Amino acid sequence: MSIATTIRQRYEAKEQDQQQKASARYRQLVRAVAAAAGKEPSLEQIEQTAAAAGKTIADFTAAVEGQEKRIATAARLAAIPDKRTRRAELQQAIEAHNATLDEAIERHRQACEPLVAQANELDAQIEQADRLKLELISTADPEVIAAIDAAGEEHLQADVALRLARQEIEIASGNGSTQLLERHAGKPGFDHQHHQRIVANAKAASEQLPALQRALADAESRYRAAQARLLEP
């Protein structure tokens, strides 16, 4: 590699790092202004921070307005208690009364009517909470979406790796079994080397299985954590 190429690559890497830092400072300022956190920045500070990130004042004000809306939405969502557990309890009570329907239809009706009324009220609150969640998801930072996509791809790859290992083990339990080797070894058409490869692959897969299971669990945990960021303001 030539010296010129090395210098260019170092310069480009430096520029990229500076741009990323400028973008991070820009987003931090947007969040601070939207949350009314600390001293209000001067117009000069806003102009400099926005310009460094390749943004205009119009871009900045639009970003602040969007962040203010997300903060308000998150606050409204946080103010709604989680009603799903109570909703599930009510549904269980309804089903329990259904089981005794033949014994006392009228008693069943009297018991269920107030529960159903409460359930309907809770359904309305749950629906409102779901709408607010969807609003947060639809306005999420692109970086959050990218992190979720990356975590989802990692989870998918870990799942595929575990499935392939289990498949190797299943194949060996049939086509690669010791009993099959004992019955057919030496017979015309029996591929001894192929059989040994199946057994070896299954052994390797069995040894890797615990690590693959842990990798899948870790990937799933990271994927859930990434998804949880969608509901952050």
Over range 178-199, report the average pLDDT: 54
Task: Spell out the domain ranges in the chain.
Answer: 3-78, 81-139, 141-233
- Which of 10-24, 44-58, 97-111 is modeled with the greatest confidence? 44-58
Is the separation of the CB atoms in 108 and 97 below 8 Å?
yes
Confidence of residue 177 (pLDDT cuts 50, 70, 90): low
How much is the pLDDT for 80?
86
Is the pLDDT higher at 121 or at 38?
121
Distances (CA, A) of 174 to 166, 177, 181, 199, 202: 13, 6, 11, 10, 11
164 contact partners, CB below 8 Å, separation of at least 6:
205
How much is the pLDDT for 182?
47
How much is the pLDDT for 135?
86
- Which of 124-133, 166-175, 187-196 is modeled with the greatest confidence? 124-133
Exposed, middle or buried, 93 (CB in 10 Å: 0-12/13-18/19+)?
Answer: middle
Tokens, residue 85: 């557990």
| Whether residue 1 has pLDDT greater than 80 | no
How much is the pLDDT for 193?
63
Over range 38-62, report the average pLDDT: 88
How much is the pLDDT for 128?
93
Tokens, residue 144: 């959050």
Instruction: Give the CATH architecture of domain 141-233.
Output: Orthogonal Bundle (1.10)
Is the pLDDT higher at 56 or at 170?
56
Over range 130-151, report the average pLDDT: 84
Over range 40-46, report the average pLDDT: 87
How much is the pLDDT for 60?
92
How much is the pLDDT for 233?
79
Q: What percent of the chain has pLDDT over 70?
A: 79
| Whether residue 183 has pLDDT greater than 60 | no
